[in-house]
């Protein structure tokens, strides 16, 4: 288990859904795989509006039906949907596809043209409205994290999700240490490669 800055404990290993929801013929197998993972204790599920253009979120929604109280859902917003109002609309679409009331952890998928300050404002509005429980970022480097931390409310991010595995270890040079010094958990995606 890993403890987030707000004290919430989440599984250290989760199920990713990249490439799910892209082929309707695979849907039953994808749903079954996620359900089996939940039964085996892999109750953190990571998805994004980008994966299958919402198709992966639909697969997740089907897999967690009747098991919402047992899973921790992470989803991500496209950078072009990360403005003050756009992030609210994007989140509502994700919630609808997932069939849930609240996303446990909502991440900015990567840095785009929308100023980080607008994204933080949107995330905080969603959190205050109960549509997300907490927010974070993905694929941000140290310079981006320092900018985020300098913003009002910017230190409220729960994690930075980044590529990290035996073949991709660039974050070891500075990002891991930067995050550790500020109690920001690093969430690895593709931890065993592709």
Is residue 51 part of the annotated active site? The answer reads yes
Measured CA to CA, the distance from residue 88 to residue 183 in angstroms comes to: 27
CA-based nearest residue to 138, from 190, 182, 95: 190
Q: Which of 51, 78, 164, 189 is catalytic?
A: 51
Q: Which residues participate in catalysis according to the annotation?
A: 51
């Amino acid at each position: 288990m890993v403890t987030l800055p707000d004290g919430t404990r989440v599984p250290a290993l989760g199920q990713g859904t990249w490439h799910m929801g892209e082929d309707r013929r695979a849907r039953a197998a994808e749903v079954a795989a996620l359900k089996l993972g939940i039964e085996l204790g892999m109750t953190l599920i990571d998805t994004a509006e980008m994966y299958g253009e919402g198709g992966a979120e639909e697969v997740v929604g089907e897999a967690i039906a009747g098991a919402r109280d047992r899973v921790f859902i992470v989803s991500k917003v496209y950078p072009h949907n990360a403005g003050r109002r756009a992030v609210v609309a994007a989140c509502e679409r994700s919630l609808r596809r997932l069939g849930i009331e609240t996303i446990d952890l909502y991440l900015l998928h990567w840095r785009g043209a929308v100023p980080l300050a607008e994204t933080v404002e949107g995330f905080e509005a969603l959190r205050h409205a109960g549509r997300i429980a907490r927010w974070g970022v993905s694929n941000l480097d140290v310079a981006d994290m320092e900018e985020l931390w300098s913003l009002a409310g910017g230190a409220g991010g729960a994690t930075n999700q980044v590529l990290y595995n035996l073949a991709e270890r660039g974050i070891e040079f500075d990002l891991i240490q930067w995050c550790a010094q500020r109690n920001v958990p690093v969430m690895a995606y593709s931890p065993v490669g592709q």
